[in-house]
Amino acid sequence: MNILVTGANGQLGRELRSFSSTSHHRFVFTDVSQAPENPVEYLDILDTEAVEAMVGREDVGLIVNCAAYTDVEKAEDEPEKAMRLNADAPAILAAAAKRKGAVLIHISTDYVFSGNGCAPLREDYPTGPASVYGKTKLAGEEAIRTSGCEYIILRTAWLYSPYGKNFVKTILGLASGRKELNVVCDQVGSPTAAADLAAAIMHIVGSGQIHKCGIYHFTDEGAISWFDLAAAICRLAGLSCEVHPCRSSQFPTKARRPAYSVLDKTLFTETFGMRPPWWFESLDRNIRRIAA
């Protein structure tokens, strides 16, 4: 099967590129941004004709959309740009998939929920995004669901990797040069290594389960606050920086973040026969990768 991957220079895309080397499927990695050290094919997923041409030319059977507008704070000032990338582009990919008879795997987020609950969120829990980012990602989900294409939507959270900008790398950088850090303790979720999400996608593909369509939740197991995560990062990296808990009100932001957005992974595990790894073990493994 020929698999088209968009957003291949992002965190998840780069992890998928590593996993693809052991797959018997043929991958076509694309991105709108080009880097000399990470060459991939150019594809603007907002260009309907270009997407249609690529899907047809490469005889694509599966599209994995890793591209998105992910700057939560900046999205409040650029709602139209966020909507184009998070909703219009998935709609274009879904339409191309339907016409070709291909399946679309799309990555969504815990931000589609309000974050006002206190128990792990199942896929059928009412959505209610409080930020522009969350609203545009939910719009993307709805565009895919109503397109008529076969799809798997994977909602994830707190993604990090050795690549790009993410919370883990930010804390490692800050803690290396400071004696103390204040990190919010009243936002609870599940950190997810991009490599683990990539492994989940490869498991779905490799086990021939791409036609089990629907919305699923996938994060690493466990529920912690950003403060807990920062403290664990410093401990695992051997940094002496002391991390202090603080309230979100001490660091006001334009975008409202979910206070509790732990995702229930039961449906994913029962459907695909794969259990997500524990967050601490993945964090340890990835900190060693970052330090290498």
Domain spans, the chain? 2-165+193-220+262-277
Q: What is residue 78's DSSP assignment?
A: -
Q: Catalytic: 133?
A: yes
Listed residue (115, 114, 107) closest to 90, CA to CA: 107
Asked whether 1 and 61 are in contact (CB, 8 A), the reply is: yes
What confidence score (pLDDT) does residue 50 get? 98
Gap between the Cα atoms of 188 and 225, Å rounded: 4
| Chosen CATH of 2-165+193-220+262-277 out of 3.40.50.10860, 3.40.50.620, 3.90.78.10, 3.40.50.720 | 3.40.50.720
Strands (E), the chain: 2-6, 26-31, 41-42, 60-65, 103-109, 150-156, 159-160, 180-184, 188-189, 192-193, 214-217, 224-225, 242-246
For 133-179, the three-class secondary structure string (H helix, E strand, C coil) is HHHHHHHHHHHHHCCCCEEEEEEECCEECCCCCCHHHHHHHHHHHCC
What confidence score (pLDDT) does residue 251 get? 85
Strands (E), 8-141: 26-31, 41-42, 60-65, 103-109
**Residue of 69, 133, 151, 260 marked catalytic:** 133
| Angle, helix 132-145 to helix 89-100, in steps of 10 degrees | 20
What confidence score (pLDDT) does residue 14 get? 96
Is pTM beyond 0.85? Reply is yes
What confidence score (pLDDT) does residue 36 get? 73
Gap between the Cα atoms of 230 and 238, Å rounded: 12
What confidence score (pLDDT) does residue 37 get? 73
Q: Return the residue matching tokens 């990062």.
A: 233
Asked whether 55 and 100 are in contact (CB, 8 A), the reply is: yes
Ordered per-residue pLDDT tens for the chain, 292 residues: 999 999 999 999 999 999 999 999 999 999 998 877 778 999 999 999 999 999 999 999 999 999 999 999 999 999 999 999 999 999 999 999 999 999 999 999 999 999 999 999 999 999 999 999 999 999 999 999 999 999 999 999 999 999 999 999 999 999 998 999 999 999 999 999 999 999 999 999 999 999 999 999 999 999 999 999 999 999 999 999 999 999 999 988 999 999 999 999 999 999 999 999 999 999 999 999 998 8
